[in-house]
Amino acid sequence: MLRKASGVLTGKQRKVYLIAGGVTKFAKAHPEMDFRLMVKKAYDYAMKDVPKLKAKDIDHTRISYFSDHFARQLKAASMVQDFLGLNPKDSRRIEWGGATGGHCIQAGWETIASGRGDVCMAAGFETMSRVETWKGNEFIALASDTNFDYPNGGFYTGYYALMVQRHIYEFLRKRKFADVRDEKKAQRMAENEAMRIMAMISVKNHTNALHNPYAQFPVKLAVQDALKGEMISYPLNRPSICTMSDGAAVLMLASEDVAFEYTDKPVLIRGVGGGTDTMRLADRPHGSVPLFPWEDEATYESLDYPGVHSFRAGRSAAIEAYRHAGIKDPLNELSFVELHDAYASSEIQTYEDLGLCRYGEGYDFAELGHPFMKGIDYGMKLEHQGTIPVNPSGGLIASGHPVGATGIMQGVFALWQLQGTIGKHFGDDTQQVHDAKLGLIHSHAGTGSSVTVSILEAVR
């Protein structure tokens, strides 16, 4: 059990806090700003929020962007460092697919937790508007095995559709529609049921974004509208998929020694976790579920895991983060979750990976209203609305997904939730989770090949 002796569990690291953040409005294109100026705007916003913090106080920077193809500029992070006037401080680029932003925050955490420095900037950006949408899809698909996956039609939405189709089969066809004997008919019924619930997620996230001025796609939708969206890769339609964005986000991290000098509302990074899985979906094992301490083997006796239906990397990341943070009952301990909903399907799959419900209960969890915000009219009847708001910001589906900035954007929104400053930063406190104490951010790369989970705690 080497893992149990690993550093993160010794509790010997220095405590690390988020002290400020900034985000540019995510947009289809920002031709009036290049990537350096976008980061600069987010950086200036963060610095203005903690006026006592000066550029000279920043010891290190970690800068993330996903794709050299989109950037068309190698070592673009050096140019950000340069533009912000932060040379000759230590810096490096962080890249880990769609989870780039989440990893960048954790790289900042490691820098301070290890004692290497007291203040670290974690910044991220992506400029996806530089090519046409379908060329952009090609670039993204290059993050699948280019020998065995890409030449079949390289398309990430297609890969996620393959995953959710199996998820639907395992958890709706085999359970809710177990009595239907005609196999094809039963599968169609299960798929329709899943599409209806994914439309509910789409409505939730687009509605949440109505009150987020940084979001790219705030829109009032009805479930019927979301269901009518153009089919992209069955059963995923346009309203259940995030689009491409330009944007940047910045977080400032500080050690316990200095955090309170800069703000009286720092937010503690109480736990970090990471996990991985095979690049090729075809290689995913069919074994057993890595369990949380409160789960028992019998629960998943008949489930081949992860197969292609679930994200083992997400489950592994959650196990590590919960252990680090001492969380034993995430559903009741967490005040909100900002998770990587590049697809409405992944949001449902991720509820299960994170233990907000058991594997197989994700559809019911959504339908009953648990992940919706309290007090917001989504135009549907929800029995248990607001048990644990998921993506109160609107998530990737409605906020946008400029890959290198996305995970950091989640961190910024979570920081503001835990400070209770959503009203100040959004100019509207509708999306402020009341009395938020503990938040989870979840960042996810290509078909779940890498996932980070970080647990943030209000100390005000």
Contact status: 213 vs another protein (CB under 8 A)? no
Which residue shows structure tokens 């736990």? 271
Q: Which of 48, 231, 328, 329 binds another protein (CB under 8 A)?
A: 231
* Dihedral of alpha carbons 142, 64, 451, 170, sign: negative
Residue from 184, 332, 381, 383 in contact with another protein (CB under 8 A): 184
Tokens 């890769």 belong to residue: 233
* Residue 157 makes contact with another protein by CB under 8 A: yes
DSSP state of 126: E
Q: How far is CA 274 from the centre of its chain?
A: 13
Task: Check binding of 178 to another protein (CB under 8 A).
Answer: no
With CB under 8 A as the contact rule, which of the stretches 132-140, 327-335, 338-346, 354-362 interacts with another protein? 132-140
Least Å distance, CB 160 to another protein, is 9
Nearer Cβ to another protein (91/447): 447
Q: Residues 322, 361, 391, 68: is their CA dihedral positive or negative?
A: positive
Q: Is 185 exposed, middle or buried (0-12, 13-18, 19+ CB in 10 A)?
A: exposed
Q: Should residue 85 be labelled a site residue for another protein when binding is judged by CB under 8 A?
A: no
From 157-165, 210-218, 292-300, 436-444, give the range in contact with another protein by CB under 8 A. 157-165
By the 8 A CB rule, do 63 and 90 touch?
no
Beta bridge partners of 253: 18, 120
Under the binding rule (CB under 8 A), the answer on residue 153 touching another protein is yes
In this structure, are residues 454 and 321 in contact, taking their beta carbons and an 8 Å threshold?
yes
| One of 125, 169, 177, 365 touching another protein (CB under 8 A) | 169
- 280 interacts with another protein by CB under 8 A: yes
Provide the minimum distance between the beta carbon of 92 and another protein in the complex, in angstroms, as a whole number. Answer: 25
2 binds another protein (CB under 8 A): no
Nearest to 178 by CA among 165, 167, 166, 190: 190
Structure tokens at 319: 């196990």
Cβ distance 9 to 326 under 8 Å? Answer: no
Q: Which of 95, 149, 347, 367 binds another protein (CB under 8 A)?
A: 149
Largest CA distance in the chain: 69
Which one of 41, 62, 173, 265 is in contact with another protein (CB under 8 A)?
Answer: 173
**The binder of another protein chosen from 82, 264, 283, 296 (CB under 8 A):** 283
Q: In the complex, what is the shortest distance from the CB of residue 282 to another protein, in angstroms, rounded to a whole number?
A: 4
Rounded (5°) CA angle 52-53-58: 160
Q: Which stretch binds another protein (CB under 8 A): 41-49, 180-188, 197-205, 432-440?
A: 180-188
Strands 90-94 and 60-64: parallel
**Which span (134-142, 211-219, 321-329, 429-437) binds another protein, by CB under 8 A?**
134-142
Applying the rule CB under 8 A, the residues between 13 and 52 that interact with another protein are 28-29, 31-32
Q: Does the footprint of another protein cover residue 151 (CB under 8 A)?
A: yes
| Alpha-carbon 456 to chain mean position | 14
Q: Pick between residue 168 and residue 269 the one whose CB is nearest to another protein.
A: 168
- Total interface residues for another protein by CB under 8 A: 49
Cβ nearer to another protein, comparing 25 with 437: 25
Residues 6+ away with beta carbon under 8 Å from 119: 53, 57, 58, 59, 60, 112, 252, 253, 254, 255, 258
Q: For residues 183 and 383, which CB has a smaller minimum distance to another protein in the complex? A: 183
Burial call 149-166: b when 16+ CB within 10 Å, e when fewer: beeeebbbbbbbbbbbbb
Binding of another protein by 183 (CB under 8 A): yes
Determine if 74 is a binding residue for another protein (CB under 8 A): no
By CB under 8 A, is residue 115 in contact with another protein?
no
Two tokens at 138? 């090609």
Interacting residues toward another protein by CB under 8 A: 28-29, 31-32, 72, 129, 132, 134-135, 137-138, 141, 147-149, 151-155, 157-159, 161-163, 165-166, 169, 173, 183-184, 187, 230-236, 278, 280-286, 308
